[in-house]
Amino acid sequence: MKILILFAHPAFHKSRINRILIEGLQEKNNVTFHDLYESYPDFNINIKREQELLLQHDCVIFHHPFFWYSVPAILKEWQDLVLQHGWAYGSKGIALKDKIFFSVLTTGGPKQAYVKESFHNHTILELIAPILQSFRLCKMIILPPFVVHGTHAMENEQINSHKKNYFKLLEHIIADELDVNNALEHSYLNDYLELKEK
C-alpha cells in the first residue's frame, strides 16, 4: 500500500518533536511526504496536483501539531479546495472511496488532560470529530489517531520511541498488515500498535 503524509507545521523552524518524528520519512519506500507549508507558502494550493496525489495513494495521513483543537490553517484550506463535491463526496464523488485516513497529532498537554472533566474537557476523538466526519463523508475508512502527548516536557529518548512506533505503524500499513477492525476498537493507534507488538 502507498501512503501520502500531508504534513503541516506553521512554525516548523521552532519544532523539536516533529523535526525528529519526520526525519527519514522522505526516504521510505511507498511513502510520499508532502509538506504543505513548504509547497504552498502563499496558500495557492494546486487542486489538480493534490487530487492526483490522493488518487495515487491508498492511505492519507494528516500529520500536524494540535493547535486550538484543530488543524493548522493550510490543512483547512486544503480540505476546502481539494475535497470537491462530485469528486470527493456527493452521489458521484467516489474518488477516495475505501482509502484509509487517520491523523498523527502532537500535543503539549499530557494524555490525562484530554478526558472529560479534565483540563480540556474532551477526548481527542471528540475534538477531531469534524475532521473524521469530513473524510467519512468521502467514503474513506477512518482510523483513530496516532498521538504524541506531553511534548513540552519530552526527552529525546521518548521522542525517538514514538518515532519508532510511528514508523512501525507505517510499515504495517505498507505491508497491508493493519487489522482495521482491531484498530477501530482503540481510541489511539498507539494502543493498537502496542498490543499488536506484544
| pLDDT digit string, tens, across residues 117-166 | 878 778 999 999 999 999 999 999 999 999 999 888 888 899 999 999 99
pLDDT at 156: 86
Q: Residue 169: which residues within 8 A CB-CB, separation 6 or more? A: 146, 189, 193
The alpha carbon of 113 is separated from its chain's Cα centroid by a whole number of angstroms, namely 20
Say what the pLDDT of residue 198 is.
Answer: 60
Q: Does the pLDDT at position 2 exceed 90?
A: yes
Q: Where are the beta strands (DSSP E) in 41-164?
A: 59-65, 100-106, 141-142, 146-148
Q: Does the pLDDT at position 29 exceed 90?
A: yes
Kindly tell me if the per-residue pLDDT of 22 is higher than 90.
yes
Find where cell 501539531 sits.
Answer: 65
Domains of the chain, by residue range, sit at 3-197
Among 16-20, 107-111, 167-171, name the one with the lowest average pLDDT: 107-111
pLDDT in tens, 45-82: 999 999 999 999 999 999 999 989 999 999 999 999 99
* Predicted structure pTM score: 0.95
Buried b (16+ CB within 10 A) or exposed e, 51-66: bebbeebbbbbbbbbb
CA distance 105 to 50: 21
The pLDDT of residue 49: 98
Residue-wise pLDDT for 162-198, tens only, equals 999 999 999 999 999 999 999 999 999 999 988 876 6
CATH topology of domain 3-197: Rossmann fold (3.40.50)
Kindly state the average pLDDT of the residues 30-57: 98
